[in-house]
Structures are given as C-alpha cells and as structure tokens.
Amino acid sequence: MFSKEWFIYVFGRWILLSGLAGATLQVLLRQQMGIPDFPAFLLNQLLLACVFWYVDKYIFQRHLGKLKDLFRFPRIKGQFDTSREFAKISEEYTQLAEDFRQQPDNPQAWLHRFLDLYHSVEMMERILRDKGIHVDRELHRIMEENRRRGLYE
C-alpha cells in the first residue's frame, strides 16, 4: 500500500495541491468575498471537487486503464509465489507443446492449451508486480533493444 505512487498521490495530490488550493480558496472566499466560514468551506469543497474530479479521473484512468488493458484474466484467489507459478508455466508449456506437435496446422486443437499458458504467464506478471518488480521498465528496455535491432515495423 505504501508505494512510491501512494506517497506521490497522498502528498502531491492531496496535501500539496488540495491542501494549498483549499486553504488559499478558503481565505479568498472568507476575506475577499466576505462569505462566513462554514458556507465558504462548503463552496470551497464544491469548487475543489469540480476541479479535482478531472485530475483524479485522469490519474486513475491512466493508471487503472493500463492494468485493465494489460490483464485479460481475472485475478485467481489464493497466495502465489514465483516458484509455484514457474512450475505452472512449465506444465502449461509442456501440454501446449504436446498438443501442438500432434496438430500444428489446427490451432483450434491447441488453442485452449495456448490460452492456459498465457494465463500462467499473466499470473506470473501479477505476482512480480505485487512484489514491486518494475516489469514495465524491463519491458521498455526489451522494446528499445528490439527497436535498435530493427525488429519492429
């Protein structure tokens, strides 16, 4: 829970932006416009909510939208670790390879096994992300390396 992103969000968005903006707006409403404290506070909160609705929407759509697009399968219940998931990936790959060798030109015959393997790999990625591993950073490095090698269009 207390990740770098959490601290940036709490201290940057809530304390710095909302706190300073709220305090400044409260003073302006009370001293410059002569609005009593409690109505000024309510108006202050309404105005900040109107602004920060869009800020938060941007933050969470950007962050959660990536995760939603990233993972196709729902999270599996239970506790998982990399060793267990690696064994599952190996098992799924072995089953896919066996089905593929029997009918390589018939994807429908091995599609289920392929998606099982994909699911296991996706689960490993979730485990790594949950452990705070910078998967996106490594993915970016691989893509840059492949781009330099001319592998992409």
- What pLDDT is stored for residue 76 in this prediction? 82
This prediction has a pTM of 0.55
For 7-45, give the DSSP string: HIIIIIIIIIIIIHHHHHHHHIIIIIT---HHHHHHHHH
- Helix axis angle for 107-130 and 82-102, nearest 10°, is 170
Q: What CA–CA distances, in Å, run from 45 to 36, 50, 53?
A: 14, 9, 11
Alpha-carbon span 119 to 139, nearest angstrom: 18
| Residue ranges of E strands in the chain | none
**pLDDT the model gives residue 153:** 86
pLDDT for the residue 58:
73
**Is the torsion defined by CA of 13, 14, 16, 18 positive or negative?**
positive
Average pLDDT per consecutive 10 residues, the chain (153 residues; last block may be shorter): 73 80 88 90 87 76 59 82 95 97 97 96 92 90 94 90
